[in-house]
Amino acid sequence: MVYQITRDYIRTGNSRSGQRIGTVRFIVSHDTGNPGSTAYGNRNYFDRQQPSASAHAFIDDKYILEIIPLNEKAWHVRANVTGDNQRFGANANDAAIGVELCHGGKINFQQAYARYVWYHAYLCDRFNLDPRKAIIAHATLDPARRTDPINILRNHGISWTVFIDDVAEALANFGGPSEPAETTPTPQKPQTAKPPASVVKGTTVKLPVGEGASGPFVKDIQQELIKAGYRLPRFGADGTFGDETEKAVMRFQRDFGLSVDGLVGPVTLNKLQQVNHQRVSSNDFPLPSGVLRNGSQGEGVRQVQRALKELNFNPGAVDGIYGANTTDAVRRFQSMYAALKDDGIYGPNTRKYMRMELDD
């Protein structure tokens, strides 16, 4: 499908400073957090009210609407959060494009989601970004305050992994040249553009999910359960919703006063998100000093493996043996940060960033 991008920029003010952005290094995915608010509704709000906040683009079921040129800064992430600097070496407002998903009310979610995926792929194509490394959720950068867009996606049966897979699938179908540089349209006549064609797979799961379901969304739920302390000792996060997963869901629901039915719908997902955003104590996950690599063994390796599990970088069994799975998990963790060499070797620098993530 080819989607049309509409460019109708807001006036200069608190929401649009006109300051030039640096090299675009990544994309921050958001949702509006205001069900039923449309792309143009948001555009008009930021143009009239001029709060000290903004995003580059708002997407609903009818429009991909850019309200700030992609060569200018938008104010979409708090300046005092540290995750963007740790991962990309820059503040998000200085080096990232902010994209907002409109949802709820009369907005057709599937149509909005398809545009949301496609536009992320378009940005990756335009700025030569790897979607698996350069797209990050607002919730990941500001976990103490934000859940967007992870919570909204999950409530519609889409895990973050599936979303990134969809963007990668869409990007694979881009083949045309990138668009020319931004130009400012006249306020009375918004510009439109049709960038290269793409295909959006749009893999989703209908909620609630329960026993018999399978796939990436189920695996995402299982990882959240494990992170919340509900062990799955027989099968782990294998992507299959079996008896073990159902019992863990029921225990979780019972512990938090939810309806105990073993089904995972929006209420259970929201509670999981809330529980897993609670701060982790440094004492819960001590990290060893020194260097560990493939072939290392002992309690220090177990500590690294436990920390990796907590951070959702599954190293396999917590067995104290630094093998291929642990090496791969360390490498995947390192790949999130420009300052780390993704060689799969645990050392002082990797320890520092793991500590920051655990304490975030």
pLDDT band at 178 (very low <50, low <70, confident <90, very high): very low
Helix, strand, coil % over all residues of the chain, rounded to 5: 40, 10, 50
Mean pLDDT calculated for residue range 129-139:
95
Residue tagged 């963790």 (tokens): 333
Q: Is the dihedral of CA 76, 80, 86, 88 positive or negative?
A: positive
Contact 119, 11 (CB under 8 A): no
State the CATH architecture for 216-266: Orthogonal Bundle (1.10)
What is residue 214's predicted lDDT score, i.e. its pLDDT? 87
pLDDT band at 183 (very low <50, low <70, confident <90, very high): very low
Q: Which two tokens stand for residue 109?
A: 């979610």
Contact 211, 242 (CB under 8 A): yes
pLDDT digit string (tens) for 81-129? 888 998 999 999 999 999 999 998 899 999 999 999 999 999 999 999 9
Mean pLDDT calculated for residue range 137-145:
86
Mean pLDDT calculated for residue range 22-27:
96
Residue ranges of alpha helices (H) inside the chain are: 39-49, 83-88, 92-95, 109-127, 131-134, 138-141, 150-155, 160-172, 216-227, 243-255, 266-276, 299-310, 324-334, 348-359
**Do the domains 5-193 and 216-266 sit in the same CATH topology, yes or no?**
no
Give the distance, in angstroms, between the CA of residue 200 and the centroid of all CA atoms in the same chain.
18
Average per-residue pLDDT for the chain = 85
Cα–Cα distance for residue pair 330/299, rounded to 1 Å: 16
Q: SS3 for 283-310, per residue?
A: HHCCCCCCCECCCCECHHHHHHHHHHHH
Q: Which two tokens stand for residue 206?
A: 């209908």
pLDDT band at 145 (very low <50, low <70, confident <90, very high): confident
Q: Which among 265, 269, 220, 262 is positioned nearest to 245, based on CA atoms?
A: 262
What is residue 130's predicted lDDT score, i.e. its pLDDT? 96
What is residue 317's predicted lDDT score, i.e. its pLDDT? 86
pLDDT band at 215 (very low <50, low <70, confident <90, very high): confident
pLDDT digit string (tens) for 51-69? 888 999 999 999 999 999 9
pLDDT band at 283 (very low <50, low <70, confident <90, very high): low
Cα angle at 161 between 232 and 140, to 5 degrees? 90
Quickly list DSSP for 75-105. Answer: --S-TT--HHHHHHSS-HHHHEEEEEE--ST
What is residue 184's predicted lDDT score, i.e. its pLDDT? 44
Q: Is the pLDDT of residue 330 over 80?
A: yes
Task: Reply yes or no on domain 282-359 having CATH 1.10.101.10.
Answer: yes
Give 206 or 232, the one with higher predicted confidence.
Answer: 232
Q: Which among 167, 151, 196, 145 is positioned nearest to 3, based on CA atoms?
A: 196
Q: Is the pLDDT of residue 193 over 70?
A: no
% the chain with pLDDT above 70? 88
pLDDT digit string (tens) for 238-278? 989 999 999 999 999 999 999 999 999 888 987 887 777 65
Residue tagged 């700030």 (tokens): 68
Q: Is the pLDDT of residue 138 over 60?
A: yes
- Report field, pTM of the whole predicted structure over 0.75: no
Residue 267 neighbours by CB distance under 10 Å: 15
Judged by DSSP in three states, 184 sits in coil
Mean pLDDT calculated for residue range 311-325:
86
pLDDT band at 340 (very low <50, low <70, confident <90, very high): confident
Fold of 5-193: Lysozyme-like (3.40.80)
Q: Is the pLDDT of residue 304 over 90?
A: yes
Q: Is the pLDDT of residue 352 over 50?
A: yes
* Dihedral angle of Cα 144, 149, 151, 156, to the nearest 10 degrees: 180
Q: Is the pLDDT of residue 181 over 80?
A: no
Contact 64, 18 (CB under 8 A): no
Give 216 or 36, the one with higher predicted confidence.
Answer: 36
Mean pLDDT calculated for residue range 6-21:
92
Break the chain into its structural domains and give their ranges: 5-193, 216-266, 282-359
